[in-house]
Amino acid sequence: MRKLPRVLVVEDEPPIAELIAVNLRHNGFAPTVAYDGEMAQREVDAVLPDLILLDWMLPGKSGATLAREWRAQERTRGVPIIMLTARSEESDKVQGLDAGADDYITKPFSTNELLARIRAVLRRRAPEITSETVEVGDLTLDAGTYRVTFKGDELKVGPTEFKLLLYFMKHSERVHTRGTLLDKVWGDHVFIEERTVDVHVKRLRESLKEAAKMVETVRGAGYRLTANIPAETASNDAAS
């Protein structure tokens, strides 16, 4: 029997939470509802969900705070998070993405939009099944074992960042626009904004640590991964 994707709905308004849960249940998901951060943490500790729908405004800890905490923990780092919020300004969206959300949906939203975003994020959760190994300089990615190493040291890379890195490494030394990266890495990006690419590139650099300098920002164009970058620009690019 096929396992239904488990979705944790963290929403402090019971009517909204129950409506989301009913729609998820009717569309092939197994939802669990939590009404605040404390309850959500208990649910996550009990059973790791496949995806978290996280309301920004919660009693006690905010959704953004919870997202940061889960991203900092090894066990929950790879769980996709979609932020639910009434905030619609670009700065709010950026803040939500920077907190660790994989996507952001503004209330009110339709059931179809919510389901499309959930399915798109779940499709991006794992890299394509492949056994290939790619090397660029001292950086090695083994897609078969889901390992990334730099100079022999293993690096912890999240699911979306893994796919992004795989694409970069398979097409190293080329400049990729944000639109191209959305097409090639995210695929179905009808609801995804180009700013999302910047957030995941930032996360990828943080994961790569010493190798972060290999991901180069090409001003006005996009990004590229290179094995040979001028030493004087390395620190600037890693920080941008």
Give the tens place of pLDDT for each residue, 193-205: 778 889 899 999 9
CA distance 38 to 21: 19
pLDDT at 100: 80
The pLDDT of 50-76, averaged and rounded, is: 90
What global pTM score does this model have?
A: 0.59
| Domain span(s) for CATH 1.10.10.10 in the chain | 133-239
Tokens 């190493």, residue located:
149
Looking at domain 133-239, its CATH class is mainly alpha
pLDDT at 184: 81
CA distance 40 to 52: 10
**pLDDT band (50, 70, 90) for residue 129:** very low
Report cis status (omega within 30 of 0) of the bond before 108: yes
Q: What angle do CA 11, 116, 17 make, to 5 degrees?
A: 15
Give the single-character DSSP code of 214. G
Task: Give CATH for domain 6-125.
Answer: 3.40.50.2300
Residue 203's closest CA among 114, 117, 100?
A: 100
| Domain span(s) for CATH 3.40.50.2300 in the chain | 6-125
